[in-house]
């Protein structure tokens, strides 16, 4: 399930706009204004993706960002209490995001961009710390990178050729 191409039509996806920026390009006649929208989509059940859309109008940029995010869906491993299976640091560009597992009842302790990703991925108990750059796009992508690297105990046992009891100790 991890490295397969995921068909977005199978899931009830919700989207969240993380940021909208106005960007300009200086041309001969003046400045061309455009908008970029960073959008995160997820089904709240382990499937998550992020995309960037650029257009002259904001709604069009959001639509393009949503389409881009649907193309990049990944599956996230979660444990029994809707947390991550183990601690991990995800890195993208100058941003690093530390994801720490948490017991039931902790909630999502995370900053804005990372919180959007975790909520839509269906993770309900986690502690995070954003390290390095606080660029929203890089923080979202670093969080996704960390979630992509997560491995469930079953997966680790299968890769090592051991039983789950041997892996968990």
How much is the pLDDT for 1?
Answer: 45
Rg of the chain over Cα atoms, rounded to whole angstroms, equals 18
Residue 22 counted as domain residue? yes
Residue 169 counted as domain residue? no
Overall residue count recorded for the chain in this entry: 169
User: How many CB atoms are located within 10 Å of the residue 43 CB?
Assistant: 18
CA dihedral defined by 135, 137, 140, 141, rounded to 10 degrees? -110
Same domain? 115 vs 58? no
Q: Kind of pairing, strands 74-75 and 47-55?
A: antiparallel
Output the CA angle 148-151-154, nearest 5 degrees.
Answer: 145
Number of independent structural domains in the chain: 2
Q: What is the pLDDT of residues 109-161, one digit of tens each?
A: 999 899 999 999 999 999 999 999 999 999 999 999 999 998 888 888 999 89
How much is the pLDDT for 3?
Answer: 53
Give residue 113's domain range: 76-152
Q: What is the CATH number of the domain that holds 45?
A: 3.30.160.20
Residue 123 counted as domain residue? yes
Same domain? 52 vs 107? no
Query: Which pTM does this prediction carry?
Result: 0.90
Q: Kind of pairing, strands 108-109 and 126-132?
A: parallel
Enter the tokens of residue 159. Answer: 């890769």
């Amino acid at each position: 399930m991890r490295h397969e191409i995921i068909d977005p039509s199978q899931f009830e996806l919700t989207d969240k706009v993380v940021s909208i920026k106005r960007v300009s390009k200086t041309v001969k006649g003046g400045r061309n204004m455009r908008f970029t929208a960073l959008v995160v989509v997820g089904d709240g059940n382990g499937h998550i993706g992020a995309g960037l859309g650029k257009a002259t109008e904001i709604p069009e940029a959001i639509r393009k960002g949503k389409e881009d995010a649907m193309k990049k869906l990944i599956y996230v491993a979660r444990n029994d209490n809707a947390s991550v299976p183990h601690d991990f640091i995800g890195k993208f560009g100058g941003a690093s995001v530390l994801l720490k597992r948490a017991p039931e009842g902790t909630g999502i302790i995370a900053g804005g961009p990372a919180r959007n990703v975790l909520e839509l991925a269906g993770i309900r108990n986690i502690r995070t710390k954003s390290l390095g750059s606080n660029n929203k796009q890089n923080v979202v992508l670093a969080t996704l990178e960390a979630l992509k690297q997560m491995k469930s105990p079953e997966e680790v046992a299968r890769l090592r050729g051991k039983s789950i009891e041997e892996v968990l100790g």
